[in-house]
Structure 1
């Protein structure tokens, strides 16, 4: 198998694994036409399936498929023997067998709950299964085993699954909403209980306040002020007496001349003392 095709099939099976839960061994429902074509081209179909799907596989058939092959005559005896080597998948048509197409369609149903791959040469059957999301389809084209690319419905389902994975579950969303509402109500109740304190006048900084003076210190201060006041008064009186004494001494030592004492024909009172 070519490297490019191998990478494509690897991405394809990864898509089915992550989005729809496919696991090894991959279960493959095989119909009579597919097995007949594989024998015609002498293909080792089990090996080819493992190579294409890049993993272990489990081939399966139904009672309805085997009964349809038997009805086709001796030319299909080899196909019958090849199918009987695979695992039989039980169906609900034991009492009344139906065609292989109808039987496989009932097993796949509308959502392929058991994650089956379908290997068939029937084009109408493949067309039917393209309308069901998550069904890998295989067929043989000139001795080459082909895995069909995913259908448009499958790709739409993959996108939907990816979106759902990113969203939180409904129960989780409901729980979060309930928890959020209860938290909000609790916060509102606590906020209502708390009363805003009115700011009053601030007390002065105790470090910047002066300490009150005691009675003894205030009395001592008053005494000191009184002593200073008396000392200042005494010094003032002493200075005044000294100044007067100095002035008197100056008058005695430096008598005023007579010419200066007579002014406008009048004599000064001190003229009597000049003689």
Structure 2
């Protein structure tokens, strides 16, 4: 049930955004009865309205609504403080204080130019706004909020507006006729400049047709998107670099072998050391 309600609300909000130009953050004009109903059912005004419409919202009220809540006394004191704290003030162009009902009707006007959602618990006000195009209405039922479904008047208004957009007005027809006349005149002047006397007329016409074809071909080539072909790439030049010789720059000279050869000795020469043996008296005797 909850999923169906959210789906229905999204569909209604989408209708108003597409046909009447409503945009986020949605502006909601609240009256005193709506704010009092939310607080009585322990609902947060900002969060509950945002969840119902499925987007960011800005809550508005009028100066006349706040004055009416203030005049109701201690029973509506909490609603009075909540309206002042959480709602912005919409402009009231009338002089002096009016009833909240008349103030909201005057703020909305005939076409709802400010794109307000109206949140109210007043049944008469809800029925009144069903006959005004582009005015969605919110109302509360216990601990849930509902968005008023589209009325037949609003659906017919949207259909008639779409049909009028499809039809051409008198101003559009005059503009089209002027453009057609200017195009015909330009074509006639071009044909007259081509026409001449003598045998060169046919050559001139052929030349003009060839030029037109060239211009068309050029335009077609410019309009087409040119894609680069992927060609095989060469090897990485760093991978083909020759290896460096890390050997010593000054090699040792080769020594002659005992046999007279020029090959280098494989084993290094060892130094012969004399061994000395110690006697019993402590003197050292060199071994022969």
State whether TM-score is above 0.5: yes
Q: Which residues in structure 2 correspond to 1:1-275 (within 5 Å)?
A: 2-85=2-85, 86-93=87-94, 95-167=95-167, 171-184=171-184
Unaligned runs of at least 5 residues, structure 2: 196-288
Tell me the CA shift for residue 186 of structure 1. 5.5
Secondary structure of 2:117's counterpart equals strand
Cα offsets for 1:201-234 (capped at 9, x unmatched): xxxxxxxxxxxxxxxxxxxxxxxxxxxxxxxxxx
Give the C-alpha shift of residue 153 in structure 1. 2.1
User: How many Å separate the matches in 2 of 1:191 and 1:88?
Assistant: 69
Q: What is residue 243 of structure 1 aligned with on the other side?
A: none
Distance in 1 between residues matched to 2:53 and 2:42, nearest whole Å: 20
Offset at residue 173 of structure 1 (A): 4.0
- Residue 98 of structure 1 and its aligned partner are, at CA, apart by 0.2
1:95-145 Cα distance to aligned partner (Å, 9 max, x none)? 410000000000111110110010000111111111110001000112210
How has the CA–CA distance of structure 1 residues 39 and 111 changed in structure 2, closer, same or farther, with 3 Å as cutoff?
same
What CA distance in whole angstroms lies between the structure 2 residues aligned with 1:96 and 1:74?
Answer: 24
Deviates more, 1:130-139 or 1:174-183: 174-183
Which deviates more, 185-194 or 137-146? 185-194
Residue in structure 2 matched with residue 218 of structure 1 by the alignment: none
Question: TM-score when scaled to structure 2?
Answer: 0.62
Q: C-alpha displacement at 1:160, in angstroms?
A: 2.8
C-alpha contact (below 8 Å) 2:91/2:107 kept by paired residues = no
Q: 1:51 to 1:168 in 2, by over 3 A?
A: farther
Assess if the C-alpha contact under 8 Å between 2:126 and 2:137 holds in 1. yes
Relative to the length of structure 1, the TM-score reads 0.64
Structure 1 unmatched runs, 5+: 196-275
More relative contact order in 1 or in 2 (CA 8 Å, sep 6+)? 1
Q: How far did 1:162 drift?
A: 2.8
* CA RMSD, 1 decimal: 2.6
Q: Aligned-pair distance for 1:175?
A: 1.9
Larger % of helix: which? 1
Answer whether contact 1:19 1:161 (CA < 8 A) is retained.
Answer: no
SS at match of 2:29: strand
User: Distance in 1 between the 2:124 and 2:154 partners?
Assistant: 18
